[in-house]
Amino acid sequence: MPQDTNDVPGVSGDTDERLQRYLARCGVASRRSSEAIILALRVTVNGKTVTVLGTKVAAGDTVCLDGKEIRPEETKRYVALNKPAGHVCSLSDEKGRPVAAELLAKRYTERLYNVGRLDMYSSGLIIFTNDGNFAAKVAHPSSQIEKEYIVETSLPFSPRLPEQFAKGVRVEGVFYRAETVERLSSRRLRIVLMEGKNREIRRVFEHFNAPIKQLCRVRIGSILLKDLPEGESRDLTRAEVEGLLGGED
């Protein structure tokens, strides 16, 4: 819903970059999350609060978030975190719950934000970055990047669950289908998703009356969780970053 932004200082017709993209390059958040930040009236350009999307930023403009000037990060970071259950994937939480990004604060001075999400009760692999272009490409469904999960239920699940999830199942009007579903035991499965809709696994398991005891993501594309301790992080290698950008698994 872009609107005319000629009344905002520094964002007339000769500007060069959309504000949400600039925020992403500064490591504030992904482009999509940056749009919400802009609409929350938290961003100013040359001292004036931005109220509309479509605003652009020119070289030499002063951009502030919550009153503090921000600039693009010089060092690009690509980080794998083993998120513990109980942490939320957001930049802050109004309920005071632990935030996953806080686990990176001691190692990294840059603003880092998560690419994709894991819900509060799930654990495992999640990627953080301050590279907006990388985040946009990796998060987009067209990237076709697999995500692999190990799921443990508190009770034996129905034998129908693996077969139906692999074929596709409709829950409350939404169609869910896993790429692969492998039964490991009467209470454990290995599931691979491609797109990964919001809370997809949990909603399918609820549909089959299979309460989840533990849900852990162990792979994103070619990136493996392996033996990374819970709550710890590591830098991705150049090959791992290039593999994600290339959609390799």
Catalytically active residues are 119
- Give residue-wise pLDDT tens across range 38-85: 999 999 999 999 998 889 999 889 999 999 999 887 789 999 999 999
CATH, domain 17-69, list 3.30.9.30, 3.40.50.720, 3.30.930.10, 3.10.290.10: 3.10.290.10
At 21 the pLDDT is 87
Instruction: For 13-45, give the secondary structure using H, E and C.
Output: CCCCEEHHHHHHHCCCCCHHHHHHHHHCCCEEE
Is 78-142+229-245's fold the same as 146-220's?
yes
Residue 157: band (very low, low, confident or very high) from pLDDT cuts 50, 70, 90: very high
Residue 203: band (very low, low, confident or very high) from pLDDT cuts 50, 70, 90: very high
Percentage of the chain beyond pLDDT 90 is 65
Residue 10: band (very low, low, confident or very high) from pLDDT cuts 50, 70, 90: very low
- Give residue-wise pLDDT tens across range 78-127: 999 999 999 998 877 778 889 999 999 889 988 898 998 899 999 999 99
At 136 the pLDDT is 85
Fold for domain 78-142+229-245? Alpha-Beta Plaits (3.30.70)
Give the predicted TM-score (pTM) of the model: 0.76
At 198 the pLDDT is 85
Say yes or no: domain 146-220 is CATH 3.30.70.1560: yes
